[in-house]
Structure 1
Amino acid sequence: MSQTDAATAPSSGPAPDSAVSVRNVSKNYGPVEALKNLSLEFPRGELTSLLGPSGCGKTTLLKIIAGLLQPSAGEIVIDGNTVTAPGPDRAFVFQDFALLPWASVIRNVAFGLELRGVARSEREAIAEKYIANVGLSGFENSYPHQLSGGMRQRVGLARALSVDAQVLLLDEPFSAVDEQNRRKFQEDLLELVRNENKTFIFVTHSIEEAVYVSDQIAILLPRPSRVSEIIRPSGFRNKGIENIRRDPEYLDIVDEIWASLRSYAE
């Protein structure tokens, strides 16, 4: 699928404005160019997936947006402000969960609010809400070592949601769970995108996952990375999450992305 084809795919309405703008960003690690003059817009209230071959800079770009890495050139702009460091407008969901092993589920989920000085009663009430939203009611007083990998990932997602950041950055959040839980998480993620009115930036290696969960897919080229294509799946979005994987448009987009990425497969 060409960028032109993708851009003219049927849409249910006008594209929203951008919450995050990546403007001519480059990133060098010594002599290695990871990103080169990369520009990309992330529509407000939507989920955009970053998809591409291993080592193409997806996580590097995510960390630059988070303010965890500084670009060698270019800038990240969020709601008119240039990113120079981590901030409360962004929350990061790490691939390896990054939970506090000595803290209970509710303490982990409320930890960002605790750092902000929110009173205990208020932060625990907020944490309980998001613990329930990710399906972990009853586990508030459990500890990470008592949870499955999938449950720990839910804790990480609830923690990101609880700080009420407008941009959620997810670095392969489902890669460490089994296929059944991964599918359930994908369905839950679609519900969160629909209900939370936040902007999600999602890194994945799975073509099927990207097409299933995304309003927009940005395909990145191998190092030095830049955007190859922008795809906006639209025809199956209102047909119910249980029908997406059988929809002809879904299947066609998966096949077309695989055709464009096949030559980069190791």
Structure 2
Amino acid sequence: MIDPAAIPALATRPIVEVKSVSKTYAGGIEALSGISLDFPEGRLTTLLGPSGCGKTTLLKIIAGLIPASGGQVFVDGREVKGPGPERAFVFQDFALMPWASVIRNVAFGLELRGVAHSEREAIAERQIARVGLKGFERKYPHELSGGMRQRVGLARALAVDAKVVLMDEPFSAVDEQTRRKFQEELLELVANEGKSFIFVTHSIEEAVYVSDRIALLSRRPSRVSAIIEPKIVRGGDPEKIRRNSAYLDVVEDIWQQLKHYLD
């Protein structure tokens, strides 16, 4: 078992601070219980835990999409009272407007902010090209593959230039080859953008591969059971990294911590 107190904190200030957050749904279902957790600026932190432990609930509370039952969340020093321009959300199910073109979907957040039509289309076009969809600006979601639709969702989040990007199992609906490609592209974004990413996944292997920091959550009512910093040396052949003993040891250690929640 990894002791959270034994792991040195990343040398960067927290961009998101979760303080004693709890969440109880109608019917008395307690999802989160007194969670306190900091998310370092400019890094990717993953929320990992057993199915149904409240990872997405915590992510949506940080996003301001649902209220906490108790506790507080601060983003860049300001208390979260609802959605805000400093946060962008990438949904698991893409959440695209089916009647709108790719460029309209990507520019939608800018449109809500009152950005002029020409400016928002220029920004959207840059982000569409960046995620590898140049030439698809006038296509509609039903004309795209699942992987392409997820790229549209990511481009939309990047277009608003939020400080914090929240990602709810964004790669779960794509095939394994596409998922691995997305993981590499995500690492490039983290390295080049200077943004802070909060990532939810069910995959231990994915969490270890992409994360600077992993917050391991217990089963419901969820608490933080460990903080893990994989310290994976990236670069070079991704498959060699996945076969590296340091990577495999962290994956196995997390599995040993998680599996007793499945008993």
Relative to 1, partners in 2 of residues 1:63 and 1:164: Cα closer, same or farther, differing over 3 Å? same
1:4 and 1:26, CA in 2 relative to 1: closer, same or farther beyond 3 A?
closer
Q: Which residue of 2 aligns with 1:100?
A: 97
| 1:73 corresponds to which of 70, 92, 113 | 70
Instruction: Please tell me whether the aligned partners of residues 4 and 228 of structure 2 are also in contact (alpha carbons under 8 angstroms).
Output: no
Aligned partners of 1:174, 1:67: CA distance in 2, in Å?
22
Distance 1:239 1:82 in 2: 41
For the structure 1 residues 228 and 179, does the alpha-carbon distance in structure 2 shift closer, same or farther, using more than 3 Å as the test? same
Please list the CA deviations of residues 156-185 of structure 1 after superposition, one character each: whole Å capped at 9, or x if unmatched: 000000000100010000000000000000
* Aligned with 1:247 (options 220, 244, 261): 244
- Where does 1:48-87 land on structure 2 (aligned, <5 Å)? 48-87=45-84
How many aligned positions are there? 262
Residue in 1 that maps onto 2:146: 149
1:225-264 equivalences in 2 (<5 Å): 225-237=222-234, 241=238, 243-264=240-261
State the Cα deviation string for residues 96-152 of structure 1 (Å, max 9, x = none): 100011111111101110111111111111111111111111111111000000000
Indicate the residue corresponding to 1:17 in structure 2: 13
Structure-1 residue corresponding to 2:196: 199
Mean alpha-carbon deviation: is it higher for 133-142 or for 43-52? 133-142
User: Which residue of 1 is the match for residue 7 of structure 2?
Assistant: 7
- Which residue in 1 is equivalent to 2:118? 121
Contact 2:209–2:232 (CA under 8 A) maintained in structure 1: no
- What letter corresponds to residue 241 of structure 2 in structure 1? I
**Aligned match for 2:160, one of 163, 171, 174:** 163
| Counterpart in the other structure of 1:174 | 171
Q: Work out the CA distance in 2 between the residues paired with 1:83 and 1:130.
A: 27
Match of 2:182 in 1: 185
* Amino acid across the alignment from 2:13: D
C-alpha change, 1:242 and 1:195, in structure 2 (3 Å) is: farther
Identity of aligned residues (%): 68
- Whether the 8 Å CA contact 1:6–1:230 is kept in 2: the answer is no
The CA RMSD over aligned residues, in Å, is: 1.6
Determine helix, strand or coil for the equivalent of 1:36. strand
Stretch of structure 1 that moved more, 239-248 or 125-134: 239-248
Question: By how many angstroms is 1:263 displaced?
Answer: 2.2
**Structure 1 gap segments, 5+ residues each:** none
**1:212 alignment partner, SS class:** helix
Residue 6 of structure 1: CA displacement?
Answer: 6.2
SS of the equivalent of 1:245 reads helix
Deviates more, 1:17-26 or 1:129-138: 129-138
Tell me the TM-score normalised to structure 1 length: 0.94
The residue type equivalent to 1:214 in the other structure is: S
Counterpart CA distance in 1 for 2:233 and 2:134 is 32
C-alpha separation in 1, matches of 2:194 and 2:239: 22
Query: Are the aligned partners of 2:42 and 2:194 in contact in 1 as well (CA < 8 Å)?
Result: yes
One-letter amino acid of the counterpart of residue 149, structure 2: R
- In the alignment, the residues of structure 2 paired with residue 98 and residue 107 of structure 1 have an alpha-carbon distance, to the nearest angstrom, of 13
Contact 2:157 2:165 survives alignment (8 Å): yes
Report deviation, 1:235: 4.2
Match of 2:37 among 19, 40, 48: 40
8 Å CA contact retained: 1:6, 1:231: no
> Offset at 1:264?
2.5
Secondary structure of the equivalent of 1:150?
Answer: helix
